[in-house]
């Protein structure tokens, strides 16, 4: 042995749970995260915002980050009674936490009683599914130069991010490529 042991990176390592339920939620979420099969994803991409109610667990989207965008899959876990009947909510976010309008792919569990592990299992399954959803890049060219681009979810067509002139995107893209 070399005397200095290195511990493996831990999912959501800096989280400071405030309650026993949050501790149980995070413990199970960490267990489930260790089995995620997402290319380019590491525990370093996970973090929490424990200064809010709810406890918000976030995972940077490896493809979108590699493309130069700040994007994370976000899940909020509320203690019983803190937000009415909502207990778990999740979305792919870019700016503010859990601020987007809900769509068919977002996570929303409300009006259900369950142990924290139940909600962690649901969160872990949904996070992995979101990170594995197919992404595609659409590009509009000006000669050989990319004048505008857009990244969207291939399965729903939901636009995630764009660069360049939106006027060019009023016509069909010149090139479409799959990102994962």
Lowest mean pLDDT among 16-30, 36-50, 155-169: 155-169
pLDDT exceeds cutoff 80 at 118: yes
Residue 82 pLDDT level (bands cut at 50, 70, 90): low
Averaged pLDDT of the chain: 87
Residue 86 pLDDT level (bands cut at 50, 70, 90): low
How far, in Å, CA of 169 to CA of 55, rounded?
38
The 10 Å Cβ neighbour count of residue 46 is: 25
Distances (CA, A) of 29 to 13, 62, 160: 12, 19, 26
Mean pLDDT of 28-46: 95
What total number of domains does the chain contain? 2
Do 140 and 90 share a structural domain? no
CA angle, 133 then 57 then 109, to 5° = 70
Q: Is residue 14 a part of any domain in this protein? A: no
Do 98 and 64 share a structural domain? yes
Q: Is residue 50 a part of any domain in this protein? A: yes
Do 94 and 56 share a structural domain? yes
Do 82 and 46 share a structural domain? yes
Find residue 148's DSSP bridge partners: 140, 164
Do 49 and 115 share a structural domain? yes
Do 174 and 107 share a structural domain? no
Structural domain span for residue 91: 20-132
How far, in Å, CA of 50 to CA of 22, rounded?
10
Please give the pLDDT value at position 81. 62
Q: Read off the pLDDT of residues 108-117 as tens digits, 9 standing for 90 and up.
A: 998 888 899 9
- Say which residue, 75 or 165, is predicted with more confidence: 75
Mean pLDDT of 157-161: 87
């Amino acid at each position: 042995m070399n005397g200095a042991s290195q511990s493996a990176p831990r999912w959501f390592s800096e989280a400071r749970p405030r309650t026993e339920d949050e501790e149980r939620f995070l413990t199970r979420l960490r267990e489930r995260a260790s089995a995620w099969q997402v290319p380019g994803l590491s525990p370093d991409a996970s973090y929490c915002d424990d200064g809010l109610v709810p406890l918000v667990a976030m995972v940077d989207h490896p493809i979108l980050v590699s493309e130069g965008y700040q994007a994370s899959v976000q899940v909020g876990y509320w203690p019983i009674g803190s937000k009415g009947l909502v207990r778990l909510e999740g979305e792919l976010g870019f700016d503010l936490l859990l601020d987007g309008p809900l769509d068919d792919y977002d996570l929303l569990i409300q009006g259900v009683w369950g142990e924290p592990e139940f909600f962690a299992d649901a969160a872990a399954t949904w996070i992995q599914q979101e990170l594995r959803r197919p992404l595609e890049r659409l590009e509009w060219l000006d000669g050989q130069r990319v004048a505008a681009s857009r990244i969207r979810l291939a399965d729903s067509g939901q636009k995630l991010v764009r660069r360049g002139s939106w006027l060019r995107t009023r016509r069909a893209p010149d090139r479409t490529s799959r990102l994962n």
